[in-house]
Amino acid sequence: MKLLLLSMQAGALWGFLRNHLEHPGKARIGFVHDAIGRVPEHDTMQAWLYEERQRVVDLVETVDDLFLAEMKPDEVAEALDRIDALYVRGGNTFLLREAMRISGADKLIIERVKAGLPYIGLSAGSIVVGPSLEPIVPMDDPDEAPNLPSYRGLGLIDAVIVPHADGQLPPYPPELISSILTTYGERYQLQPVDDDQAYVVDDRGERLISSAE
């Protein structure tokens, strides 16, 4: 498998694409929006949301915007077959997982990633590849995904990624991160990732690297 799991900064993104795609500058990237859904243009987070997508647009030739919750399984399969890599953006992890489930994208993504499709996740997109979303309940609101029957993740890796682990973002202060690690650390393998770090999975194994910009 080839996974790049980001927290916030994306300095490692170009190196990952260069290492795993034959022609990274000519690549087509599928960009999954479901962790935020369709955000109104006047939303106060619009600038940050634009910047996350723009970082990908600046590196590759084509970006396909994917809203999984609005797609049927055959449409998801066709979209995954067109792209060179999949990018899953940040937002609410439970909302993202719900969209993956109702569209059937979860099974398709697992299948394609295990077959070699490079996967890039940021925050929610990183968390969802683990075995469970339960340790992230203190960070994200599960009530935003009322049709999600369980906290099961995609199970592509054994660890639950805990993003923003340096406690620099106001919504996730150090005491919140510490509480998550203490409360859930005995039941789950937790992998804290600071905002200037990334967790990589490839043929060299799994490791934490710098992703400073």
Strand partners for 201: 3, 206
Residue 150 is among the residues annotated as catalytic for this protein = no
For 54-90, letters b (16+ CB in 10 Å) and e give ebbeebbeebeebebbebeeeebbebbeebbbbbbbb
Nearest to 163 by CA among 89, 213, 112, 83: 89
Closest CA to 135 of 88, 92, 174, 189: 189
Question: How far, in Å, CA of 46 to CA of 97, rounded?
Answer: 22
164 is catalytic: yes
Q: For residues 192 and 158, give the distance between their C-alpha atoms in angstroms, rounded to a whole number.
A: 13
Q: What whole-number distance in Å separates Cα of residue 187 and Cα of residue 164?
A: 21
Task: Decide if 128 contacts 86 (C-beta within 8 A).
Answer: no
The pair of structure tokens assigned to 68 is: 């999984």
- Distance between CA atoms of 162 and 138, rounded to whole angstroms? 11
Among residues 7, 20, 103, 123, the one annotated as catalytic is 123
Rounded to whole angstroms, how far apart are CA atoms 160 and 135? Answer: 8
Catalytically annotated residue among 7, 33, 103, 164: 164
What residues are annotated to the active site? 123, 164
